[in-house]
């Protein structure tokens, strides 16, 4: 049976690949979301279990052995997700580090002869890498543009954006990230790694595990990955899911650590200490004084202001791109990305030429840092356009490195006065501008690492003033760089708990935890005063209808009746095929109430029928019947469908009514919907406040809620005690724990005839055995 699950995953990938539209077939907007022909690019997801007859039949066939087997398969898939995401992260980082290493090595070798030739080669390499990335996105995988986190957040919030989890998107994300990050653009690979992990996990049906695995792989922070999935992307959570997510993140950490140990011998080229975000500053500042809390609070305020400004600028520029620039086609997207690459290369190579070199400090054996560093290698103190050998260019130390290595330089301890305030301010202004302009181009782009770069730059700048003001030897500029990075991410992304744990994990310094918490709380509070977080702003730009964690205040004064749609289209229990086709063609509803009548002629809502299930029935034609009367027997005809037939592949377009071809004879047939509908949809009274409806909808992950008049009578009341399960020691069976009232009437219920029970049963069991009109 395991092979069947694996085969289903492979078939899902094949179907998803085949159903993703090509760039020429379907227009895409500026942020990479493919639009359907009806201009709708998103639709809701069905997370609710449809307990129809097929579901009951399958549950009845499952024994304890199958349940244990199913649990083992889920954990095995979690293991595969961890291994796959870890290997993908290793491949991306290995490729980026080697491309960047070869680029810097060749550039430094050429500038020994001619700076002009070195600049041209440097520019050309960056241009080729970025061009390859943007071509992959525009021609092969449009959904792989951007970070992917807003789309994944929307998916786990209940919104399906077509194409974001397909195998083609996975390939485009991996190779597109290598080109864009290796090409030196002001963006990161950590956001795309989250999307990559989600794509890998979607093939095995556990997207949340993939999100956590992506963060764990990007930062080598397994606990931070779990908290990121809990805090940032998932709307509802279960304890069983948390354990699998935790296990997946742990597997990722083991895979990454093993790969880095294997590359430690130097067989991985320029991989060096790796592109994974980890800075061990445990030997730096190990304590702080009360006087330092004020400048640390200032860092939090700066992070909130700059983060909110970053969100606002990126939103408006991306809006302009979508509505004016990217409408002109893929060729304009390619020109734009190449132009940004040229500007980035010109700034990163040209600005250090304008900066005077600084004499190297005296060698400190305790720090182990060499000045200047060897040409083409990573680390501090870059000798660039210097007249003497024992000099370094502090601005080139930031520009002529991968972003991971540049951040290590900013975080480094025992390197006081390495960077001047003028160089840090110049780099901050230029890199901030480049990050704003680059974010939104048609390449895979993350904002974690650029955010850390920006924050650590102004954090180190504040650290310089603190060291000069307090004149204390135990204050490290690198500590303030770390706090600045946390403050900018908090001010931009508005994460607190997960980001705090990630920063502690990547720095390996638990003593800084209170300080990180302080700047995160301040920066988030300041940023919230101006706008929403980065991912929420981008989701709004991409028209992803996210349900926030809290309903808006105005919902308290509204009722369910005022909010629900007035035009409700329903089906009778036995419906003509032609009527089904006509209704599906004339509207875009995805859920339809099914109506039947009692013996007295009273209308009775017997359940909810999904559009996707109707399409399956029309496609198979196995349940067509000539009679307009309900089926009056429970036989083999009801088990012609399994649950797998009603499952839509992740993030694909699914089946459309236009894909189904019926003859004139088929249109005259009938379908009995009772075995296939959801007989127990969620129902709320019409005067329930919209706030309560909102919380119910979001916390349960619903897609439809019936709004009904206030019920006329109550048949029972369930309390917490009624839901407790106790084991019957004599028979070994499980039964509901009985209240004292029920205990007195148990024998009376047992002798009640099955005929009377069926007549009083409101749902499908009675309908499928004997219809009232029969």
What is the share, in percent, of the chain residues with pLDDT greater than 90?
43
Q: What is the pLDDT of residue 340?
A: 96
Alpha carbon of 23 to those of 34, 138, 148, 299, 539: distances in Å?
9, 7, 18, 44, 22
Q: For residue 305, give the H/E element and its range.
A: helix 293-320
Each residue's pLDDT tens digit, 621-650 = 888 989 888 875 444 445 567 677 777 766
- Model confidence at 751, in pLDDT bands (50, 70, 90)? very low
The most confident of the ranges 266-270, 597-601, 746-750 is 597-601
For 121-134, write each residue's pLDDT tens digit: 999 999 999 999 99
Concatenated DSSP letters of 237-295: --HHHHHHHHHHHHHHHHHHHHHHHHHTTTTTGGGTT-SS-----TTS-----GGGHHH
pLDDT of 377 higher than 50: yes
Contact, 336 vs 133, CB < 8 A? Answer: no
User: Left, alpha or beta for 463 (phi > 0: left; psi -120 to 50: alpha)?
Assistant: alpha
Map residue 67 onto helix, strand or coil: helix
Residue 671 CB partners (closer than 8 Å, separation 6+): 574, 575, 577, 580, 617, 623, 624, 625
Which of the four pLDDT bands, split at 50, 70 and 90, describes residue 578?
Answer: very high
34, 138 Cβ separation under 8 angstroms: no
pLDDT at 99 over 50: yes
Distance CA 534, CA 522 (A): 17
Q: Spell out a b/e string for 282-300, using b for 16 or more CB atoms within 10 Å of the CB, else e.
A: eebbeebeeebeebbbbbb
Return the pLDDT at 587. 87
* Helix 513-528 / helix 497-507 crossing angle, nearest 10 deg: 140
Predicted local confidence at residue 528, as pLDDT: 94
Q: What distances in angstroms separate CA 627 from CA 162, 576, 639, 664, one per listed residue?
A: 39, 10, 20, 16
**128-137, 230-239, 315-324 — which one is most confidently predicted on average?**
128-137
Segment among 175-179, 498-502, 628-632 with least mean pLDDT: 628-632
Look at the block and give the residue holding tokens 């036989």.
635
Query: pLDDT confidence of 344, banded at 50, 70, 90?
Result: very high
When comparing pLDDT for 310 and 67, which is higher?
310
445-470, pLDDT tens digit by residue? 999 989 999 999 999 999 999 988 88
User: Do 207 and 156 meet the contact criterion of CB atoms below 8 Å apart?
Assistant: yes
Residues 6+ apart with CB under 8 A from 751: none
pLDDT average, residue stretch 729-750: 47
Would the pLDDT of 534 be above 90? yes
Rounded mean pLDDT of 389-411? 88
The Cα angle at residue 52 between residues 47 and 53, in degrees rounded to 5: 145
Q: CA–CA separation, 744 vs 739, rounded Å?
A: 9
**In a 10 Å sphere around its CB, with 0-12 CB exposed, 13-18 middle and 19+ buried, how is residue 63 labelled?**
exposed
Beta bridge partners of 575: 671
pLDDT exceeds 50 at position 29: no
pTM of the predicted protein model: 0.84
pLDDT in tens, 256-301: 888 888 887 778 877 765 556 555 554 556 667 788 889 999 999 9
State the pLDDT at residue 218.
86
Task: Identify the pLDDT of residue 632.
Answer: 58
Please determine, for residue 743, whether its predicted confidence score (pLDDT) is greater than 60. Answer: no
pLDDT in tens, 191-219: 899 999 999 998 887 888 999 999 999 88
Asked if pLDDT for residue 241 goes beyond 60, the answer is yes
Tens-place pLDDT, residues 428-437: 999 999 999 9
Q: What is the largest CA-CA distance in the chain?
A: 102
Task: Check if the beta carbon of residue 488 is closer than 8 Å to that of residue 293.
Answer: no
What is the end-to-end Cα distance of the chain in Å, rounded?
42
Return the pLDDT at 650.
Answer: 64
Cβ–Cβ under 8 Å, residues 203 and 78: no
């Amino acid at each position: 049976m395991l092979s069947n699950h694996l085969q289903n995953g492979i078939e899902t990938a094949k179907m998803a690949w085949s159903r993703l539209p090509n760039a020429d077939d379907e227009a895409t907007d500026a942020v990479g979301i493919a639009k359907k022909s009806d201009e709708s690019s998103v639709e809701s997801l069905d997370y609710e279990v449809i307990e129809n007859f097929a579901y009951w039949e399958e549950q009845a066939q499952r024994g304890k052995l199958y349940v244990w087997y199913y649990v083992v398969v889920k954990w095995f898939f979690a293991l595969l997700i961890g291994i796959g995401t870890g290997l993908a992260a290793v491949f991306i980082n290995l490729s980026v580090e080697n491309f960047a290493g070869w680029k810097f090595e060749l550039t430094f070798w050429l500038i020994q002869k001619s700076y002009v030739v070195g600049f041209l080669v440097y520019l050309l390499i960056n241009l080729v890498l970025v061009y390859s990335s943007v071509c992959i996105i525009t021609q092969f995988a449009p959904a792989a543009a951007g970070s992917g986190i807003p789309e994944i957040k929307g998916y786990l919030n209940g919104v399906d954006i077509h194409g974001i989890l397909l195998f083609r998107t996975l390939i485009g994300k991996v190779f597109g990230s290598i080109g864009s990050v290796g090409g030196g653009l002001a963006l990161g690979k950590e956001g795309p790694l989250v999307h990559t992990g989600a794509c890998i996990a979607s093939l095995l049906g556990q997207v949340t595990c993939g999100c956590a695995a992506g963060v764990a792989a990007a930062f080598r922070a397994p606990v931070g990955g779990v908290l990121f999935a809990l805090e940032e992307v998932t709307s509802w959570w279960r304890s069983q899911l948390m354990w699998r997510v935790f296990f997946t993140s742990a597997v990722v950490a083991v895979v990454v650590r093993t790969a880095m140990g294997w590359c430690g011998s130097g067989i991985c080229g320029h991989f060096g200490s790796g592109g994974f975000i980890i800075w061990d500053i445990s030997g730096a500042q190990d304590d702080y004084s009360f006087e330092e809390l004020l400048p640390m609070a200032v860092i939090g305020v700066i992070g909130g202001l700059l983060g909110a400004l970053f969100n606002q600028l990126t939103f408006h520029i991306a809006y302009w791109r979508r509505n004016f620039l990217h409408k002109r086609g893929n060729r304009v997207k390619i020109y734009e990305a190449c132009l940004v690459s040229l500007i980035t290369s010109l700034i990163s190579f040209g600005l250090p030429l304008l900066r005077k070199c600084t004499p190297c400090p005296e060698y400190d054996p305790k720090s182990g840092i060499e000045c200047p560093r060897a040409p083409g290698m990573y680390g501090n103190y870059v000798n660039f356009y210097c007249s003497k050998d024992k000099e370094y260019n502090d601005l080139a130390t930031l520009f002529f490195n991968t972003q991971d290595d540049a951040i290590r330089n900013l975080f480094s301890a025992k390197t006081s006065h390495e960077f001047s305030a003028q160089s840090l301010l110049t780099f901050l202004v230029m890199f901030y501008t480049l990050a704003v302009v680059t974010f939104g181009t048609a390449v895979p782009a993350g904002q974690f690492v650029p955010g850390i770069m920006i924050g650590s730059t102004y954090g180190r700048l504040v650290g310089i003033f603190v060291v000069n003001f307090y004149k204390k030897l135990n204050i490290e500029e690198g500590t303030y760089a770390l706090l600045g990075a946390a403050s900018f991410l908090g001010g931009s992304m508005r994460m607190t708990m997960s980001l705090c744990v990630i920063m502690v994990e990547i720095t390996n310094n638990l003593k800084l935890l209170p300080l990180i918490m302080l700047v995160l709380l301040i920066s988030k509070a300041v940023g919230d005063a101006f706008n929403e977080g980065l991912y929420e702003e981008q989701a709004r730009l991409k028209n992803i209808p996210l349900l926030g964690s809290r309903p808006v205040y105005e919902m308290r004064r509204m009722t369910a009746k005022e909010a629900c749609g007035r035009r409700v289209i329903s089906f009778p229990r036995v419906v003509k095929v032609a009527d089904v086709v006509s209704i599906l063609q004339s509207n875009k509803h995805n859920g339809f109430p099914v109506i039947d009548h009692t013996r007295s002629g009273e209308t009775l809502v017997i359940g909810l029928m999904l559009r996707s299930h109707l399409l399956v029935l029309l496609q198979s034609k196995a349940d067509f019947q000539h009679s307009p009367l309900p089926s009056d027997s429970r036989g083999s005809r009801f088990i012609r469908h399994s649950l797998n037939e009603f499952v839509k592949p992740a993030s694909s377009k699914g089946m459309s009514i236009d894909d189904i071809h019926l003859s004139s004879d088929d249109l005259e047939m009938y379908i009995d919907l009772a075995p296939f509908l959801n007989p127990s949809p969620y129902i709320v009274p019409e005067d329930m406040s919209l706030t309560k409806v909102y919380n119910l909808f979001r916390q349960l992950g619903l897609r439809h809620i019936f709004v009904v008049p206030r019920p006329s009578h109550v048949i029972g009341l369930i309390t917490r005690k009624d839901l407790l399960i106790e084991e019957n020691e004599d028979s070994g069976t499980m039964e509901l724990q009985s209240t004292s009232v029920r205990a007195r009437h148990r024998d009376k219920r047992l002798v009640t005839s099955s005929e009377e029970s069926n007549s009083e049963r409101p749902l499908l069991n009675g309908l499928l055995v004997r219809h009232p009109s029969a």
